[in-house]
Structure 1
Amino acid sequence: MTGPTAGTTPVRTILRRTAWFAGGLFWSAFAVLEAVNHGWLAGALALLFFVLPDLAFLVALDEAPHMTKGRLAPRAVPYYNAAHRALVPLTLIVLYTVTPMSWVPAFAALCGWIAHISYDRAFGYGLRTKEGFQRG
């Protein structure tokens, strides 16, 4: 039989998750470096933006008891997906590096944000369908 069998993880999935995990470690280290070099505000914003994407769950907290396990309330999905798109913080990081903006705490916050997304992808959490289930 060719292809993966039930209960096994394809090699590509393992490689993809490993790459996301390595990215998470890189961005976490970068955020810590910025905090050490530039003070508490950079560290606080990096930590805040590391946690912030999951606060989208609070949008529909009242519906949580009625949802099946692993499902996000549909009205929270747009906020969750917007906060978990890797292209957003990566684009902002590129803009930060090519424009004259030089407020380091903003860069540290972006490092925290992309680190969060990287860890989510590494552990199998991705974007949600409009019904609130994990995609893929």
Structure 2
Amino acid sequence: MTSPTRHKTARSSASGPVRGAWALLAVFLLAWTVLEMVNHSGATIPLGIVGFIAPDLTLFVGPAGPHEPGQLPRDKVAAYNLVHRPIVPVLGLVVVPFLPGDGPGANVGLFTFALGWLVHIASDRAFGYGLRTADGWQR
């Protein structure tokens, strides 16, 4: 098992410019999410907020196995990594506009959910949080 002191010093091995690019993307996506929420109101507001919060709900799913501070229990790593990969909400952004509905704004709530989800992932990467190893430590 890896020593926990090694993992306490750094959150991410990503360089400053990479984290800066993630930060710029997060700001752009946040502005877009807020624009969608303001333009369409109604269900888009809670769906955008839930999309932003939802990825971290995997931390509360299932029992917490043995782990050290800063380490995610091993049984939660797969779910955490799945919802923290940008491909999933990006696919949502591509597919949702083509779903059947009454007019072009029919699925805007789901679109805003995917935007909020992507804001979460981009923010995590900007702050140095990324996917976890099989042992539950930050990569």
TM-score (norm 2): 0.81
Q: Does 1:125 align with 2:129?
A: yes
> Among residues 9, 22, 25, which one is paired with 1:23 in the alignment?
25
Partner of residue 90, structure 2: 90
* 1:25-79 per-position Cα deviation (integer Å, ceiling 9, x unaligned): 111111111110101310110100100000111124533xx42111000000111
**1:1-136 mapped onto 2 (5 Å cutoff):** 13-60=15-62, 62-63=64-65, 66-97=66-97, 99-101=98-100, 102=104, 103-135=107-139
Task: Provide the identity percentage.
Answer: 38
| Superposition misfits of 4+ residues, deviation over 3 angstroms | 60-63
Q: Deviations over 1:90-112 (max 9, x none)?
A: 12212234x25541011110110
Deviations 1:4-26 (A, max 9, x none): xxx9xxxx711100110111111
Mean Cα deviation higher: 109-118 or 37-46: 37-46
Give the Cα separation in 1 of the matches to 2:33 and 2:93: 12
Count of residue pairs brought into register by the alignment = 122
TM-score, structure 1 as length reference: 0.82
What runs of 5+ residues in structure 1 fail to find an aligned partner?
1-6
Q: Which amino acid aligns with 1:122?
A: A
Equivalent AA in structure 1 for residue 123 of structure 2? Y
State the one-letter code of the partner of 1:76.
K
Q: What residue ranges of structure 2 are gaps of 5+ in the alignment?
A: 1-8
Give the whole-Å Cα distance in 2 for the aligned partners of 1:117 and 1:18.
Answer: 14
Could you tell me how far apart the structure 1 residues matched to 2:129 and 2:62 are?
19
